[in-house]
Structure 1
């Protein structure tokens, strides 16, 4: 379960978020994902309450570092990772964090702080404070040029070889542009290296459920970058057409599209886990209750084909000069 990113003024909603987290655990969620940057630590403190209430459930805790600089020269400078980790551990009130992910590829000019970041993480892991080291996975926006996609893959591979992560945490859903890694997709690549994968944003911020994309503010100092951008009318038409293909085959019942989007990620590979964000308990209930049995291989093939058509439509709509790039 991907914990939401509370912002200033969201305190009144804490009770709803806690209820949603409780509901998720009661439905069987075992991975709880958060970050030190979500609400400047408030999300971690909220999660501590859930860990205390369900201490015998064997819950796996994932947090991240790399977005908060504080008074340091850089988020990864000197011992800032160590300081942020200690604060996260205090917030979560745990002896060890199961998965601790480097949430940014920015390691300063000429990667000045990369070596120190690796040393800090490995020291924490050797001490038993971190069980698994995570690295943010490769992602490109629609409209990225071949050169930009190649650069993204090369940057990820460079960091992957140096950091040697145990887990890759990545934004992924059926609309995500494909990035080739040494001639393989992310799932084959990580399987070959024995690395786990956490998939976030499986519903594409509601797009794959058939809901209209809400207006999102452009990222700024106080607005987290969720990766969502305004999509062109042609892109939205491509999404609607693809989802209608799925409705025609699987029916119009409530939750059908949500089920297909979640199953598409959950059944992607055996070494993958999926985290889903939420804003209220009803969403958690819908997500779990709609899952049903696994899709058959034929059903998965049909879903993948429909999603591939959507991706093609989005790419074509963003290929024209001057078109705003979109990330979902």
Structure 2
């Protein structure tokens, strides 16, 4: 049986975890939150649970979910696995801040209710990691101070071991002093403001083959975290599947009302056609199968920092098995250089598309 060959020491939590973790957003299935699609179509609960079992068999010790994934369904599925796994052998992460409720998600009493529900769903008495999932702390950040105080109370009472928050998809420390009308500068300044208030132990950030490269002298999230002694967990290393070739522009999918992809510009036929063309040199050099592309995407992400684990999404045992067993040997430095150079046009096109989306 092929298993994950390495671990990563997660700063901020002070313990080793598997280099690949199970990202449990997908297995929550289709869902809407305040009328907004937030889930994934085509998820069968039995097959999703088989995926969790297979992940554990392959050596996955890091499991990441959220109260809003499937409106609790993801947590309940993960709880079924945890009922048969020694608690000290796994690192369990969940999130708070998006779940629609009568009170604001970051009202202290609502946070307490959500954590109680999360722990009940998971069948455990503490979380290793608890993330601030949203940056919306109400008008004028009226709930920010009390939310941070409540989160720290969770830690003091042993209900949470470490506190996390999301980082922007693109960020450089130096941007924060730029003009506020520039979206990336505004977002960088906002992140730093929240970071200084929350003082997280762990950050999560999207990082993959299409993530931007930074100029010499620019401090990205990984460099900031390293300087601060904060851990990082990488998400969306597979680009939600678009880097695997499973979304072909000639065979566009129709997504249901509970699937977030129906509103994501990344999944329009135009964007998928752009990705398919842009990945051509990579497929020609390394192969076009899902395992071929999964190995490249995961090894590229793992190469960013030797302490940072990477989350892998899945919806069944076949998917988790394919991605994890395809990991293979690390990429050489010259291969990473080649990938960055070859994908520069696609990376720039995606950055432009993202900027255009923000302007709208």
Give TM-score, length-normalised by structure 2.
Answer: 0.79
Q: What is the Cα deviation at residue 238 of structure 1?
A: 4.2
Quote the Cα distance in structure 2 between the aligned partners of 1:94 and 1:315.
Answer: 41
Pair 226,265 (structure 1): closer, same or farther in 2 beyond 3 Å? farther
1:286 maps to which residue?
A: 322
Q: 1:16 aligns with which of 47, 57, 68?
A: 47
Q: How does 1:187-226 map to 2 (within 5 A)?
A: 187-212=222-247, 215=253, 224=260
**Deviation per CA, 1:78-132, whole angstroms, max 9, x where unpaired?**
3211111111111111121001000000000000000000000111111221111
Quote the Cα distance in structure 2 between the aligned partners of 1:179 and 1:146.
Answer: 21
Q: 2:305 aligns with which of 253, 257, 269?
A: 269
The answer on 1:303 being equivalent to 2:303 is no
Quote the Cα distance in structure 2 between the aligned partners of 1:318 and 1:151.
Answer: 15
Q: How many pairs are equivalent?
A: 316
| Structure 2: runs of 5+ lacking an equivalent | 1-21, 32-39, 172-179
Q: 1:67 aligns with which of 81, 91, 98?
A: 98
3-state SS of the aligned residue for 1:268? coil
3-state SS of the aligned residue for 2:108? coil
Pair 318,225 (structure 1): closer, same or farther in 2 beyond 3 Å? closer
1:156 maps to which residue?
A: 191
Q: What is the Cα deviation at residue 50 of structure 1?
A: 0.6
Q: 1:114 aligns with which of 144, 149, 160?
A: 144
The answer on 1:27 being equivalent to 2:58 is yes
Quote the Cα distance in structure 2 between the aligned partners of 1:246 and 1:308.
Answer: 12
Pairwise CA RMSD? 3.0
The answer on 1:36 being equivalent to 2:67 is yes
1:244 maps to which residue?
A: 280
Q: What is the Cα deviation at residue 151 of structure 1?
A: 0.7
The answer on 1:2 being equivalent to 2:23 is yes
Q: What is the Cα deviation at residue 173 of structure 1?
A: 2.1
| Structure 1 range deviating more: 196-205 or 307-316 | 307-316
| Structure 1: runs of 5+ lacking an equivalent | none
